[in-house]
Structures are given as C-alpha cells and as structure tokens.
Structure 1
Amino acid sequence: MPDVLCLGILVADLVAKPVTALPPKGGLKLVESIQLHNGGCAANTATALAKLGFTAAVSGMVGNDGLGQVLIDNLIKAGIDTRYIMKTNQAGTSVSMVLVDSSGERSFIHYTGANALLRAEDFNQESLVNTRILHIAGSLLMPGFDGEPCAEVLKIAKSQGLMTTMDTAWDDTGRWMKAIAPCLPHLDIFIPSLAEAKMLTGLENSAEIAQVFLGYGVKVVVIKLGSDGCYIQTQDSSYHIPGFKVRAVDATGAGDCFVAGLLAGVLQGLPIDWCGRLANAVGAMSVTSVGAATGVVSLANTFAFMNSSIERQEGHKWQQ
C-alpha cells in the first residue's frame, strides 16, 4: 500500500504558451505550443511523489471518456496506484485550459466535470490500510465532497492512525471558509496558497492568517508564497523559508509539487522547517519544464540541487 493516498481532483490540462493576450471576439491568437498533460491536485501531487521515490495512490473521479482513460494510463505509467479512481457517465472528465504567459504565470479556464460528482460515500476505506498519509488534494473544487463529507473521511483516517493533510484550490463559487471549516479540526497540516488563505480569512498578514487556522485546530499551517518560498507556523514556532531561484518556464502544478516535497520531508522524518525547504526545492524544480511535475527529479537529485543552492547562497551544505 502507498505512503500517501491523494484524494481529490483529477484534471486534463491543455497548456497553451505563451499567451500574451486573449484574442478579440471572433479573432485568433497564435501560440508556440499546446500540450495535453495530466493535471489536477491529486494527480500532480501523486506524480511528483512517485518521481521523488515514494509510493502514491490516487482516489477521485473521471468521466467515462477518452480523457479520463488517458489520465489513468499516464498515472499507471508513472507507477501510481489507480484502483481507487472511479468513472462516471454523468459528466465528462474535468478539463483546465491553462494559459501560460511569457514569465511562466498561468491563468485558467476550468470545467469541473466529474470532480463535482465525488461524494463521501464513494470513498473506499480499504484505501487507508497501511497508508501513512491521507492528502486531500484540491479542496474547494469538489462541491459534492467539500465540507462535512470531507470532514467525515478525515475523521475515519485519523481514527486509523493516518496523518491528514489538505491543500486548496481557488474557489470561484465564493464558499471559501464555509466549505473547509468542518475539515480544519481534523488536519495535521493545512497547505493553502497565500492568495487562497487571504480569501479564506479576509486577512493579509501570513502570521495572522496562520493563527486563524491554528485556532480551528490545525496542527501545522504551511502557506505557499510562490517564488518567495513558504511560511510555516505551529503553536510553538514560525518560519519564513525563502524560495530557490530558478528560471521559470511554466508554473502549472508548482503548488502541488511543493506539497509533494513537503510530504516527502514528513515521510523522511525531517524537522518541519526542512520539510519547507524541501518543498520549496521541489516546487522550484517543477517550474523549469512545461507541465505539472515534468521538472520534478529524484529525491537524491533534489537534495543535490538544494545543496548547491544553499552553498551558493549561505556558504554551507545541508547534510541530509
């Protein structure tokens, strides 16, 4: 059984780059490339974990269509357990049109599709057997699962001794805190982006934001800061961990790869601040290639990248 079960959204990403402006109504814009990649937080995080050398399984829902089968086939090729992925005839596989500008930043046009149909009753508890971490991947984009249904699954995982973690996606429906508040007391680690965390709390300062989530019962809050790294806060300590400097090509899935790096650090038993450094490194490597998780390398090569960067910036190596 896997180190991590990634339960969440599965998406076919159509990545177009570079997109400098949208075409006028009835017009056309040329781009250099349009590529189809596996996407969605669950698929991206699991793929990055597998590339780092850990075992991962995915649970979620796709349409009974060609895109859904491509997603599953690609996950199998990556060495990921797909037995808990369900197919539905009630909706198509979720799709994101990812518009990447010349700096690597992205905008999305998203079809929720089959992800909207996922329910707590679809969850197979056998997937938790001998699993170390349950990661909820892409909360706020699963309207049938967000909130109390997700909280019930987290309770089950906690009762079986698993660590529980969650990241979020952008909520275009405006539910925000209402959709995740029931889950927070059952989370060991909560991993929103800064933009999402601001919308969830209505606050601007990372420390104040983290305190809100800690007040709900989360044990560790990790706020993703993009190229600026991450902010980590527990009840006893806080860290701002700077990011690594790389040439960004495509930031698609960078947050999911960050999460994979964080979970890899946890699985390795690293202190939480070094989990943050590893997460920053994996996230940085991911943006150096087109497509989510394409740029992620082995754990050994990631450590080598970290050592070279830390030695260059701080004058010493990290002895993992």
Structure 2
Amino acid sequence: MAQKEVETKFYGYIGDDYPGSVIIKDFVKNNVTWNQNCHESTGISLVLVDQSGERSVTSYQGMNDEFELSAAELEDLDNDMAVCGLGLLPHLETDLKPLIARAHSNGHTIYAGTTGDTNHLYQFIKEGKYSGLDFLFMNNLEAQRLCQLPNLIDCGKELVNECGIKNVIITEGEGGATMISQNDIYHACRCK
C-alpha cells in the first residue's frame, strides 16, 4: 500500500533482531511509520506458494503473543485498516469489536486475512468476535478446515450468515477467487 503512496502505519512489535532490521529498512524505504520496537524476537511467517498458486503458512510467534492496542492507539485508527494474520495476535483477536467499531464510526472499512492456524480462530469467529468485519480473506484450504465443509460457497455462506462477516473472499490458487456476501456471490478467474 505504501508503494502506491497510501499513508501506511504499522501497529505491532518489531524485535531487535535480524528480521526486525529487515522490516525497519523496508519501512524506511517505503515511508511506513510504526509504533514500537521491543527487545524480544520479531514474529515471522513463512509463506510457501505451490505452482498452482495455493499457499501454506507456518509462523513463529515472537512477541505477537504479547501485542495489544492501547486506547490511545485506537484513537489514532481513523482510516481504512487491514489486520493481517488473524490467528497470530491472541490479545487483539479476543475482541476485534473496538477496531471494527472505530473503523465504522468514521465511515471506513476493515479488512482481515487469516493464517493457517484456524483452530482458535474459528472459535473466535463462531463466538461472534469478528461480527461486522467488512472483508475476511482466506484460501480454500483454510476455509474448508475452518468450516468443515467441502463446498467453498457453503463455507462462505456460513461465515456470512452465522458469524456476521459482511464479505468473505476465498482464494483458489489457479482457480481465481470467490467473494460471498449476504446477497451476492462473485467469482474472478485468474487471467493467464
């Protein structure tokens, strides 16, 4: 987003280690501001993409288990926002409602993407802790694991109708992506 000249701020912990130095160098290069450094390890994820475009993710938590947003930081969140790696930030994810409410009170949108760790993530979703989320992105394997349903449309409908998520976008590698909302289903093919 920053490379497209969108004002971008990162909320999270960046460790005093090699991965942290790489991230900070990239932030400086792209004019991204960040809120804090720490003396612990930076959380990192390894994303593997196969030839068909399917991805799998493995993560090292680092300081992500400790990350929380303060009330002062919530006041600063007055633009569209993206929460990356749902399933990796347990203190934040136990209740995303303040973030969702803050975005909506200012007429903004909140986007979120999942990680491969769907066990406690699905519990949070089922408990309605992501209700009102504007867009939830996941891949087809995550959706099927999350919902325990083989059909992606049924997975998306469950997340929309039973969990209160407004739009679910399920990527399908070479098959493109499908967006499911309350009244519509759209499919975009991957152009070659």
Gaps of 5+ in 1: 1-48, 246-320
Q: Which has the higher contact order (CA 8 A, sep 6+)?
A: 1
Alpha-carbon distance change, 72 to 220 in structure 1, aligned in 2, over 3 angstroms: same
- In structure 2, the partner of 1:125 is 74
> Which structure 2 residues correspond to residues 295-306 of structure 1 after superposition, within 5 A?
none
**Correspondence for 1:3:** none
1:204 to 1:214, Cα distance in 2 relative to 1, 3 A: same
Which structure 2 segments of 5+ residues have no match? none
1:239 is paired with a residue of what secondary structure?
Answer: strand
Q: 1:179 aligns with which of 88, 110, 124?
A: 124
Contact 1:141/1:170, CA 8 A, preserved across alignment = no
- What TM-score do you get using the length of structure 2 for normalisation? 0.83
Aligned-CA RMSD value:
2.6
Query: What residue number does 1:278 align with?
Result: none
Deviations 1:202-241 (A, max 9, x none): 1121211111111122222211112211001222221121
1:159 deviates by 2.4
1:167 equivalent in structure 2: 113
Q: Which residue of 1 aligns with 2:170?
A: 223
Q: Deviations over 1:147-194 (max 9, x none)?
A: 22x23322222223221121111107x323113343331211121211
2:93 alignment partner, SS class: coil
Percent identity of paired positions between Structure 1 and Structure 2: 27
For residues 137 and 82 of structure 2, the distance between their equivalents in structure 1, rounded to whole angstroms, comes to 10
Indicate if the aligned counterparts of 1:146 and 1:180 stay in contact, CA closer than 8 A: no
Q: Which residue of 1 aligns with 2:154?
A: 208
| 2:120 aligned counterpart, secondary structure | coil
Q: Which of 74, 92, 103 is residue 41 of structure 2 equivalent to?
A: 92
Residue of structure 1 in register with 2:188 after alignment: 241
Within 2, Cα distance between the matches of 1:206 and 1:75?
A: 36
For 1:183 and 1:210, the matched residues in 2 are separated by 17
Q: Are residues 196 and 123 of structure 1, via their aligned partners in 2, closer, same or farther at CA, if it must alter by over 3 Å? A: farther
Offset of residue 121 of structure 1: 3.0
TM-score relative to the length of structure 1? 0.53
Deviation string 1:119-171 (CA, Å, 9 cap, x unpaired) is 23377124323x2x1211110011222222x2332222222322112111110
- Name the SS for the 2:89 alignment partner: coil
Q: From the superposition, tell whether residues 196 and 100 of structure 1 become closer, same or farther in structure 2 (CA, over 3 Å).
A: closer
Task: In structure 2, give the amino acid aligned to 1:87.
Answer: N
Q: Which residue of 1 aligns with 2:65?
A: 116
| Secondary structure of the corresponding residue to residue 169 of structure 2 | strand
